[in-house]
A = this chain, B = another copy of it.
Amino acid sequence: MRLLVLDFLLKQQAAVSLNDLEAAFHRADRITLYRTLKTFEEKGLVHSIADGTGSVKYALCEEGCACAPEDLHVHFHCNICNETYCLPKSRIPEIALPENFKTEEISLIMKGTCASCS
């Protein structure tokens, strides 16, 4: 089952939600898919993206992607096709913070129209 999910993820251009997975594997149980994603996330295979749509998306980590602050990329949510894409080439620039603020995580979500829909 996990192999099937991994295979499915490899074929995706966009990040997938639990619902997407469920639709693709209608024979499998929602819970199993959920736990599969959680396991993948723990092992560092995928990272989760809260794109503000209410449902968390998951995408495969790139080679050497530690999903750590120093290796963060931008996520783009298209309002037309409702897909969320990783933009590994768009790095998050350094942000000036007030004194004594320590960053552990950064999440940058852009919303608009993607290349396919414009």
Query: Is A109 in the interface zone, CB < 8 Å from B?
Result: yes
Query: Is A105 in the interface zone, CB < 8 Å from B?
Result: yes
Q: Which residues of B contact A100 (CB under 8 A)?
A: 114-115, 118
Q: Which residues of B contact A112 (CB under 8 A)?
A: 101-105
The reply to whether B79 and A101 contact each other, CB–CB distance below 8 Å, is no
Given contacts A105-B110, A112-B103, contact A90 B79 (CB under 8 A): no
Give a binary string over A75-95; 1 marks a CB under 8 Å from any B CB, 0 the rest.
Answer: 010010000000101101101
Q: Which residues of B contact A76 (CB under 8 A)?
A: 97, 101
Q: Which residues of B contact A102 (CB under 8 A)?
A: 112-113, 118
Q: Identify A108's interface contact among B89, B106, B115, CB under 8 A.
A: B106
Q: Which 6 A-B pairs give the minimum distances between C-beta atoms?
A: A100-B115, A105-B111, A104-B112, A103-B112, A50-B52, A102-B113
Q: A95-B110, A100-B114, A101-B114 are in contact. List 17 more A-B contacts (CB 8 A).
A: A50-B50, A52-B107, A74-B95, A90-B95, A92-B108, A93-B93, A97-B110, A98-B115, A101-B110, A103-B111, A104-B112, A104-B113, A105-B110, A106-B111, A107-B107, A107-B108, A108-B109
